Structure 1
Amino acid sequence: MAVTQVVRSEWTKIRSVASTVWTLSLAVVVTIALGMLISALSKNEFETLGARDRLSFDPTFISFAGMSIGQLAMIVFGVLVVSNEYSTGMIRASLAAVPRRGTFLFSKLAVATALALAVSMATSFATFFLGQATLGELKASIGDDGVLRAVIGGGLYMTLIALFSMGAATMLRFPLLSLGILMPFFFLISNILGNVDATKQVGQFLPDQAGSRIMRVVTPLDDDTPYGPWGGLGIMAFWVLAAVVGGYVLLKRRDAQ
């Protein structure tokens, strides 16, 4: 089967499954709504901040606060794109129709990543502009130093989260197992490791901790992170590459089931 036919087939699969459409919609709504809420709370509390906290005040990063929850919906999207075929048994028919497993996998990832990128970029820009409107006189401008980079980076971050989840789901195959590992990791374990002094040196190199650095414009005064915004995104991209390669290797080696 030609690559273009495989890509077309994967697009049909993704858009015909209601759960994947709903998870992307949820990612958009949650990210924007929570970003506006946190921006409103930050505006109200700004006068109570000390001089040190005001120097570290980052209106751009504040507007992206909703991504901490919105990324969970992107994780679900990434997992469902891959593991739905395993849970329904369609994987046997898919691999019979496309014997070249590399073509099958990378066509699926390419279509889903392109969709995630489009949604993530639109969400990132909407989140920024609505968040800044909520902040009022505290807002940042898209033309300020580092702001456009942060907004574009926010879209790339969400996309990489989805792609990482696809790679992990390819290795783990089943949706409950994949979500049972990825959701606690990103929502709980990573935050603990990245914020506790004893484990911070390790935690700051985890994919979400490193990748979210791209959305910062103002560096906290006590920050000692050994990499910058693009360096952090590069670390995240390395994790994503490892997950995708791991998924490809396992898909090539094991039977469809």
Structure 2
Amino acid sequence: MGKSNLGRINMKKILMGLLALTLSATALAENKFGIGAGVGVSDSIYKGAEDKAYPMPLLDINYYDLYVKGATVGFQFYKDDAFAASLFVDPLAGFAVDGADLARGYDNIDDRKFQAMFGIRLDADTGFYGVKTGLSAQVGEHGGEGKISAFKAYKVDDKLTIVPSIHVKGYSGDYTDYYFGVTSDEARRNSKIDRAYKADAAYSMGLNLTADYRLTDNVALMAFLGVEKFSSEISDSPIVDDGVLYLVGVGAKYYF
């Protein structure tokens, strides 16, 4: 895979993950699964990396205890009326970027690569006004990541469902230092980087809003938007712009 594709594919992966995790809420509530396509736009938190639009396949597939959601493949080993637990692998985890995509003066950094991460996910229905929660932890070659999330589906009418969700993610020091740290050698090679930077363990907070409009029982149109705010351990990096990531997109899905 060419270096120039890394940053673009990483943003596509983030968008696919957001769509799969938020839109699967309505599909799972009806014990269905679906496939579709969409287009999303995302900015980048790296210095000078451009905003881009991406076509995206939308996968939300369940086959007995196996599932595919976005780029994530999992195996559900426990489920009852209010609780589910699964093991999963995300082959495209992380914030991969090609150094050449950054602005001049920052563009001679080493490329950050994807990493395959393996993890466990716990999902629960709180029984409190329809709020559902998720808790996950995953680890890979370059560190670990954890996430806690909550969402609620609001059925506006027979066709329109709105799903707001919130989450908090935590990143280990190895993880943040790999993707956002700067070595002394990188600092010497780039005219606008004035120091080495070691990134410590960090966190981010996100808000997402998804709308699902059913044209028929099997066909739906959807739209989403989201924002992710990263902590100072990431936003203070010399190669990071402002530490905020925005996402927006539309799509269509066929439910079986």
Give your verdict on TM over 0.5.
no
- More RCO (CA 8 Å, sep 6+): 1
Kindly indicate which of the two structures has a greater share of residues assigned to strand: 2
Tell me the TM-score normalized by structure 2: 0.26
Kindly indicate which of the two structures has a greater share of residues assigned to helix: 1
Tell me the TM-score normalized by structure 1: 0.26
